[in-house]
Amino acid sequence: MVAIHPVVVALLPLIPSALGQTCATINPVNAATFASGYEGPRGIIFDIQGNLLTAEQSSYGLRYIQLTDNGGTNICVRSQKQLVADSSLNHGIALTPDGKKLFASSKTTVYSWDYDGTTGTVGNKKTVVTGMSTSGHVSRTLLVPKTQPNVLLVQVGSNGNLDTGAAQASSGRSQIRIFKLADLEAGSKAYTTGELLGYGIRNNAGIAEDIHGGIFSVNNGMDDMTVNGKDVHNTNPCEELNYHGRINDTSSPERGKSYGYPTCHSIYDPSVLPSPFNTQLKVGDTVTNGASSSTCTRVAPKLCFPAHTAPLDLKFNSGGSAAYVTFHGSWDKTPPDGYRVSRVAWNSQTGQPVASVTNTSAAQNIMYNANNAACPSGCFRPVGLAWSPSGKLFLSSDATNEIWVIGGAK
């Protein structure tokens, strides 16, 4: 059911119900045979002790999973327990690089805890960011950058497909804000008081830091797009890879800027646009939804992924030569697309993708459903990515309640 690119040595599921199994080599198995066990796993991270932490959206909260990694694909679950019982926590999870402060989010609020990875315990829950949008996209993505570990990035998506209010940064939607941890320590902060990293980004579900401290994000574009009355939605707009400058560079050209939404949308497939756009525009150029203008002031994407594939996370490899991206998959496209993990080649010197924005083959498939016919309810739908301390790439699939490890990801 799940197909694997040759680059992947093996992959296997980690099933909590398999507790008590010995840590002998687990053979690669077929996705069809999996038992379920997790409760809608979304964001996943490793602590500095090598334990896996998950945020699970189906009224569970956070989980602490001790793994035994004997090398290669010889990994198993040694023990697991509920770390935080809170049904409102649904996606975002982040840890400071020193492994001592844990953050997790509900739709409206970010919380923090003192964290002890050795015992798998947390201190008292503290409310740190409040007042995030109550409607539309419900997941919030959190990141404490390694190159600037004294701040927390918090993302909020739009309140619907076309959120006109999100044109204003003051709406607190379709944007990423930066909070100083010292300020959060002093007391909770309203979301809109954070420093603006970028706005006009419909639903920036994945945010990652490259080896230079550059911040990249993956955005889910609008549904049901039309241009001058023509329905172009099946292959438009792009799902974008956006760049936000280096986190420590407060005067980067991208800092605090608009990426175009809800007015401007990046074109994935110019060929279906009405004249003259079909001949004038290239992949990654912009056009306004429903109207006739292609003049927009915005930060342009660095890459365009196929429409409605729903990228939800990205993570860089340790050498900075690739980013892995999860595509959760579509509903607004025929046939459905996404439901895969892809690798994007990166230039570790420049800190930018190797491919240009017009290259629609920049994302190479690594792991995908051999047949998407069972999607979206009965197939692999990847969400969160995390590198283990030993350099293996783990990922969650919320629809199938699984956690996977890709043995050969480099």
343 sits near ligand NAG (criterion: CB under 6 A): no
CB of 360 to ligand NAG, least distance (A): 8
Q: Is the dihedral of CA 134, 135, 139, 142 positive or negative?
A: negative
Interacting stretch for ligand NAG, rule CB under 6 A, among 49-57, 160-168, 178-186, 353-361?
353-361
User: Exposed (0-12), middle (13-18) or buried (19+): which is 170, by Cβ within 10 Å?
Assistant: exposed
Number of residues that bind ligand NAG (CB under 6 A): 13
Residue 95, C-beta contacts closer than 8 angstroms, at least 6 positions apart:
45, 47, 48, 53, 101, 102, 103, 115, 144
Which CB sits closer to ligand NAG, 352 or 397? Answer: 352
> Which residue in the set 212, 256, 294, 374 belongs to the binding site for ligand NAG (CB under 6 A)?
212
Q: Report d(CA 34, CA 32) in Å as an integer.
A: 6
Residue 85 contacts ligand NAG per CB under 6 A: no
348 binds ligand NAG (CB under 6 A): no
> Which range in 35-43, 81-89, 359-367, 381-389 contacts ligand NAG by CB under 6 A?
359-367
Task: Check binding of 325 to ligand NAG (CB under 6 A).
Answer: no
Q: Where are the alpha helices (DSSP H) in 4-99?
A: none
Position 147 contacts ligand NAG (CB under 6 A): yes
In whole angstroms, the minimum distance from the beta carbon of 232 to ligand NAG comes to 23
Choose, by CB under 6 A, the member of 213, 274, 407, 408 that binds ligand NAG. Answer: 213
Q: Considering only residues 295, 318, 361, 377, which one is a binding residue for ligand NAG as defined by CB under 6 A?
A: 361
What single-letter DSSP state applies at residue 271?
G
Residue 23 touches ligand NAG, criterion: CB under 6 A:
no
Q: DSSP of 137-185, one letter per residue?
A: -----EE--SSSTTEEEEEE--SSSS-GGGGSGGG--SEEEEEEHHHHH
Name the DSSP letter for residue 32.
G
Q: Counting contacts by CB under 6 A, is residue 7 touching ligand NAG? A: no
Instruction: Decide if residue 178 touches ligand NAG (CB under 6 A).
Output: no
Q: Which of 138, 122, 27 is nearest to 74 (CA)?
A: 27
- The 3-state secondary structure of 290-306 reads CCCCCCCCCCCCCEEEC
Among 355, 386, 399, 406, binds ligand NAG (CB under 6 A): 355
Tokens read off for 369: 């459903």
CB of 6 to ligand NAG, least distance (A): 15
Residue 345 touches ligand NAG, criterion: CB under 6 A: yes
Q: How far is the CB of 322 from ligand NAG (least distance, A)?
A: 10
Q: Does 138 bind ligand NAG (CB under 6 A)?
A: no
The number of beta carbons lying within 10 Å of the beta carbon of residue 119 is 9
Residue placing its CB nearer to ligand NAG in the complex, 70 or 248? 248
Pick one of 30, 36, 68, 248: the residue that binds ligand NAG (CB under 6 A): 248
Of 76, 22, 160, which Cα lies nearest the Cα of 392?
76
357 is a site residue for ligand NAG (CB under 6 A): no
Within 10 angstroms of residue 289's Cβ, the number of other Cβ atoms is: 20
Q: Which is nearer to ligand NAG, 29 or 345 (CB)?
A: 345
Instruction: Indicate the SS3 state at residue 257.
Output: strand
- Which of 69, 86, 223, 249 is close enough to bind ligand NAG by CB under 6 A? 249
| Residues in contact with ligand NAG by the rule CB under 6 A | 147, 212-213, 246, 248-249, 345, 354-355, 359, 361-362, 364
